[in-house]
Chain A
């Protein structure tokens, strides 16, 4: 059974700093990995999707990497802003289903 873990569970950083969120998964037989953000009480916003054949994806200030063999992914956020405050979820697709991580609650301090 796939298990997805995100560390840390919560993170607070001053505005302007760069930061890294971590995601690890136990079964490396995945098709893709996706990062989402979720604002309180809201649905999911897809940030980046990395296919299993890819090593990284970039969108604006966000960069996600994938090391399938070691079961790890990172989400790098550059020059953080207060609007980046949210919960970030990673999810892996494998065995016909999407399995979500436990999430990292990010707070950017102005």
Chain B
């Protein structure tokens, strides 16, 4: 149980285009999902917290107009990188948290590698 999927697993796009990444909880409902970014040889950094039916909460320094998050259902959150540039190239990982307690364990997706040319 507690499986989280991401799609696509990798994507290459041209500079200036937008890319959408999906995060799904396959066998549980997730009121809250999280988006992380990982640059090469670095650790994961939380970008935003996504709550079903409400606006996402972004971490300091993360542009909400550039990284659009939609959490339209209890099993799906999407991250859209708008007008992508080479510096947005990174590994994006989502996680989903079952239940409502904030300290419940998060379950992580396999990640999406974005390369912007």
Interface, chain A (partner B; CB < 8 A): 31-32, 34, 36, 41-44, 46, 49, 89, 91, 93, 96-103
Contact = CB atoms under 8 A, between A and B. Distances in A.
B105 interface: yes
Nearest to B34: A98
A42 B106 contact: no
Nearest to A36: B108
Given A31-B103, A32-B103, A93-B103, A100 B113 contact: no
Interface stretch (B42-50, B66-74, B75-83): B42-50
Given A34-B105, A93-B103, A96-B49, 13 more contacts: A31-B102, A41-B113, A42-B110, A43-B109, A89-B43, A89-B44, A91-B44, A98-B34, A98-B95, A98-B106, A100-B44, A101-B43, A102-B42
A100 B43 contact: yes
B112 to A, nearest CB: 9
A97 B50 CA distance: 12
- The B contact surface, by secondary structure, is strand
Interface string B96-117: 0000001101111111010000
By size class, the interface of chain B is 20 to 34
Contacts of B34: 98
B30 interface: no
A24 B85 CA distance: 35
Nearest to A4: B43
B43 A103 contact: yes
27 contacts: A31-B102, A32-B103, A34-B105, A36-B108, A41-B91, A42-B111, A43-B6, A43-B93, A43-B108, A43-B109, A43-B110, A43-B111, A46-B105, A46-B107, A46-B108, A49-B105, A89-B43, A91-B44, A93-B103, A96-B49, A97-B46, A98-B34, A99-B46, A100-B44, A100-B45, A101-B43, A102-B43
